[in-house]
Amino acid sequence: MSEVDIMKDIQMNHGQKGFTLIELMIVVAIIGILAAIAIPQYQDYIARSQAAEAVNLLGGAKTPIEEYILVNGAFPDGTTSGQQLSDLGVRDSGTYVDTLAIANPSNEDGDIVATFKTSDVASALSGNTIRLKRTVDATTGESTWQCITTDSDMEQKYLPSGCTKS
């Protein structure tokens, strides 16, 4: 076998090693497209989970407030000693919730309001509020709690099911 034949044999058996530039560019483009879809979805997921914390804190306040109303005949005012959420054994803040407070007390009606922090929280929730509004039916005496937000910049998609914008 001549040297020329040996060189041809080496060239013929020499396979491609590594990736071409176009293959790498295609992979980068695919990753970019997937990221463009996934990142907003993940941000929405984070905002919804942070909003759920507020609803959980609000839900934890319902029973102590109902007990207070049963004993005292009125919604706690939230400012007088013995009528604040902390006096009723309720957490008044959370990881993403800055404050939990009583608002609009009137006889047996009133609101519990969760206000989100302005930092370290999803921008869609920053400074917004979710509230549980307690109303009593005048004819039946039955009380109901309604989860609402009155913030115009808070989108419905971030609210847990059962909560509405009003």
Q: Delineate the domains of the chain, giving CATH numbers in brackets.
A: 19-165 (3.30.700.10)
pTM above 0.85, yes or no: no
CB count within 10 Å of CB 82 equals 10
- pLDDT bracket for residue 97 (50, 70, 90): very high
Each residue of 49-69: pLDDT tens digit?
999 999 999 999 999 999 999
The average pLDDT across 24-33 equals 94
Summary mean pLDDT of the chain: 88
Residue 18 clears pLDDT 80, i.e. is over it = no
What distance in Å separates the CA atoms of residue 58 and residue 97, rounded to the nearest whole number? Answer: 10
Q: How far is CA 2 from CA 11, 119, 139, in A?
A: 14, 76, 109
Q: Are 35 and 104 in contact (CB under 8 A)?
A: no
- The closest of 83, 82, 89, 34 to 61, measured between CA atoms, is 89
Main-chain dihedrals φ then ψ at residue 102, nearest 5 degrees: -90, 140
Q: How many other C-beta atoms are found inside a 10 Å radius of the C-beta of residue 27?
A: 11
Instruction: Give the Å distances, CA to CA, from 98 to 28, 30, 154.
Output: 41, 40, 17
Greatest Cα-to-Cα distance within the chain, rounded to the nearest angstrom: 109
